Amino acid sequence: QVQLAESGGGLVQAGGSLRLSCAASGRTISNYVMAWFRQAPGKEREFVVGISWNGGSTYYADSVLGRFAISRDNARNALYLQMNSLKPEDTAVYYCAADAFSIRGVIRTSPQVYNYWGQGTQVTVSS
């Protein structure tokens, strides 16, 4: 099994930036598709961005395209999310997730297919 732990959340003003980290332990994540999800109060868990095994492919939700950037460092067994130009609507708990069974490394957007999850880190963007 793999354990995931997010960090880096906090309170920022609109227009500001945050960098989230996800540290994996127990197993390497080098052969997993990785993704960030978020969940706001009263909302469904929402796909934010995913990244392929070696970082060669990414897929962003329209709501964050051009503002967020995902990256991974397999040697460090870590995943990152750089968030720029933050908006109040970005306020949510952000989760790191791993998909161990993606066929051909396809980035999937449904939270139901992700096998491992972190505990989440709160991001709050004030207006």
Rounded-to-integer distance, Cα 116 and Cα 99, Å:
7
Structure tokens at 55: 């970082």
Whole-number pLDDT of residue 96: 98
Span 24-82, pLDDT tens digits: 999 999 999 999 999 999 999 999 999 998 888 999 999 999 999 999 999 999 999 99
Bridge pairing between strands 121-126 and 10-13: parallel
Rounded-to-integer distance, Cα 50 and Cα 35, Å:
4
Span 91-108, pLDDT tens digits: 999 999 999 999 989 999
